[in-house]
Homo-oligomer: A and B are copies of this chain.
């Protein structure tokens, strides 16, 4: 016997001590389907039944099991958020203010649409646990995917929607990506510096090959060519903060010292300011300064420094919308590539040099 002993109505009574859907059904005098429908707003039940079931569920402290729902529906409501790290360190944020703001916006956006964000590590070199395969994800956001990120390609291959913040280098077939228009941003900012009187603009850039660095540097070189200026730049490994200070110093120590500098990375503003001080250069009188940063520090430095903001909040939000659209099959089925504008926050450090320069072209009052 035993094989197929007319099994009892399935499921003893209650799980782990807390009420299950069957308990609610029993207590409300309905079937479990009705409970499920009533609670999920599905089906076509009389309002009375619905209310009744809800009330009973409430009274019993019923909490539906997310795991069971996920298993059944195939949707977990979870979105992965990962930062592929520059250096070796497992979990560093170099561009911290950027990430913090981006993550904040992404979290809000996701929550507003009923999803939660799971923070996941970049390809764990040899972690004893592979967290990635331990969580059911509906999709993933990848920040700054590096050249041949194994996790990303794995994810894409497995059919999971992946949206990237920053256009992926290489040809990772992500579902969508969002990025700033780095070329335009850099050229615009160089124009701004030129208008403020800069004659030779220098660049502080990185040695790494990520697209941000590459596009920005290229844009700089092109701009130089267009206006006929010799490029003046120094490179350093962006993840090393000390190297940045050294590179800033080097740049200002050159014989062909620039009279304006754009720094690609967040700490460059501070580094350049310090270097300028060492060489007795006044900002903005002797040296104009701009750097790319989300930090509010630069509003209160002495002098305040003009920054290029990448608007991480807007990006975080957009990325999430795109991803959830893909998850829910709303968006277009072909890859989306969205370019977002940047913001140049002009402060003293790049202000037109005072009187002397401004007055330089005295003319008759224009009358046209």
Chain A residues at the B interface, C-beta cutoff of 8 Å: 16-18, 61, 63-71, 74, 76-78, 90-91, 93, 96, 100, 103-104, 107-108, 111-121, 124, 127-129, 131, 133-136, 157-159, 270, 297, 300-302
B111–A91 CB distance below 8 A: yes
Assess A66 versus B129: contact at CB under 8 Å? Given A91-B104, A107-B91, A116-B118. no
A66–B133 CB distance below 8 A: yes
Specify which of B65, B121, B158 is in contact with A18 (CB 8 Å cutoff): B158
A67: B residues at CB distance < 8 A: 67, 70-71, 74, 76, 136
Smallest Cβ-Cβ distance to A107: which chain B residue: B119
A112: B residues at CB distance < 8 A: 127
A17: B residues at CB distance < 8 A: 159
A71–B61 CB distance below 8 A: no
A129: B residues at CB distance < 8 A: 111, 113-114
Assess A65 versus B61: contact at CB under 8 Å? Given A18-B158, A107-B119. no
Q: How far is the CB of A178 from chain B (nearest CB, A)?
A: 20
A108: B residues at CB distance < 8 A: 90-91
B66–A135 CB distance below 8 A: yes
A120: B residues at CB distance < 8 A: 111, 116
Specify which of B74, B133, B270 is in contact with A300 (CB 8 Å cutoff): B270
B116–A131 CB distance below 8 A: yes
Once bound together, how far apart are the Cα atoms of A292 and B71, in whole Å? 47
A134: B residues at CB distance < 8 A: 66, 69, 77, 114, 116
Q: List 25 A-B contacts (CB under 8 A).
A: A18-B158, A64-B133, A66-B133, A67-B74, A70-B71, A76-B135, A90-B111, A91-B104, A91-B108, A93-B100, A93-B104, A103-B119, A111-B121, A111-B127, A111-B131, A113-B129, A114-B129, A116-B120, A116-B135, A117-B118, A117-B119, A118-B119, A119-B119, A270-B300, A297-B300
Q: How far is the CB of A223 from chain B (nearest CB, A)?
A: 31
Once bound together, how far apart are the Cα atoms of A119 and B74, in whole Å? 21
Copies in the complex: 2
Once bound together, how far apart are the Cα atoms of A64 and B18, in whole Å? 28
B91–A18 CB distance below 8 A: no
A77: B residues at CB distance < 8 A: 131, 134-135
Q: How far is the CB of A96 from chain B (nearest CB, A)?
A: 6
Once bound together, how far apart are the Cα atoms of A107 and B119, in whole Å? 7
Q: How far is the CB of A210 from chain B (nearest CB, A)?
A: 21
Once bound together, how far apart are the Cα atoms of A128 and B114, in whole Å? 8
A159: B residues at CB distance < 8 A: 17-18
Once bound together, how far apart are the Cα atoms of A128 and B117, in whole Å? 17
A78: B residues at CB distance < 8 A: 118, 135
B96–A100 CB distance below 8 A: yes
Once bound together, how far apart are the Cα atoms of A71 and B297, in whole Å? 48
